[in-house]
Structure 1
């Protein structure tokens, strides 16, 4: 699959709140960083990553991320999304940058 197809797959699983499908698009040790600080927000090597998304999917039955724009440069995919239903709150804008390996997302940065 192309980097865009992998990122599209995780977005579809996110919108379906399909935890196992969502996790399947990520490398087992994927780090999630805050951008630009580089602070690690989550790390898939432990339970925090899975627990974070399990709790989000459980508490947000109307969760939906709409792709607003995308930039792809080689194996880097940068998405701007409009997220609604996030823990019952108002719509918000989100920007995520994914470094995609041959078959999974290997690094993530969220612009905060």
Structure 2
């Protein structure tokens, strides 16, 4: 899969709240980083899976609307709106920097 295909598959699985399609896209050593303070929010595939399962269970109307995508080397920068997070009716805006290594998402930096 190309980097673009990996991110498209991840975004589709996210919108469909499909954990079985999403988790194979991530590296066992996935790290999710809070960009603002460089803290580690998620460290490893088990923590990542648990986080997404909880998010999907609490967010029946969850979906992302991509505003802009930039591909750069082994990174994809996605500027997006998120709807329905944890049952909220509010739209939130974020930027996610996906890093791909060995055809897996190895790191995500979140800017909120």
Q: Do both share a fold (TM > 0.5)?
A: yes
TM-score for the superposition, normalised by structure 2: 0.92
Hey, what does 1:32 align to over in structure 2? Answer: 32
Alignment of 1:100-111 (within 5 A): 100-111=100-111
- Secondary structure at the aligned position of 2:110 is classed as strand
Unaligned runs of at least 5 residues, structure 1: none
Hey, what does 2:77 align to over in structure 1? Answer: 78
Q: CA deviation at 1:91?
A: 0.9
The RMSD of aligned alpha carbons is: 1.2
Runs of at least 4 residues off by over 2 Å = none
Q: Give, in whole Å, the separation in 2 of the partners of 1:66 and 1:22.
A: 17
Q: CA deviation at 1:110?
A: 0.3
Hey, what does 1:23 align to over in structure 2? Answer: 23
Q: Give, in whole Å, the separation in 1 of the partners of 2:79 and 2:31.
A: 19
Q: Give, in whole Å, the separation in 2 of the partners of 1:42 and 1:110.
A: 11
- Secondary structure at the aligned position of 1:28 is classed as strand
Hey, what does 2:53 align to over in structure 1? Answer: 54
Unaligned runs of at least 5 residues, structure 2: none
Hey, what does 2:86 align to over in structure 1? Answer: 87
Hey, what does 1:99 align to over in structure 2? Answer: 99
- Secondary structure at the aligned position of 1:30 is classed as strand
- Secondary structure at the aligned position of 2:53 is classed as helix
- Secondary structure at the aligned position of 2:29 is classed as coil
TM-score for the superposition, normalised by structure 1: 0.92
**Count of residues in Structure 1 that have an aligned counterpart in Structure 2:** 111
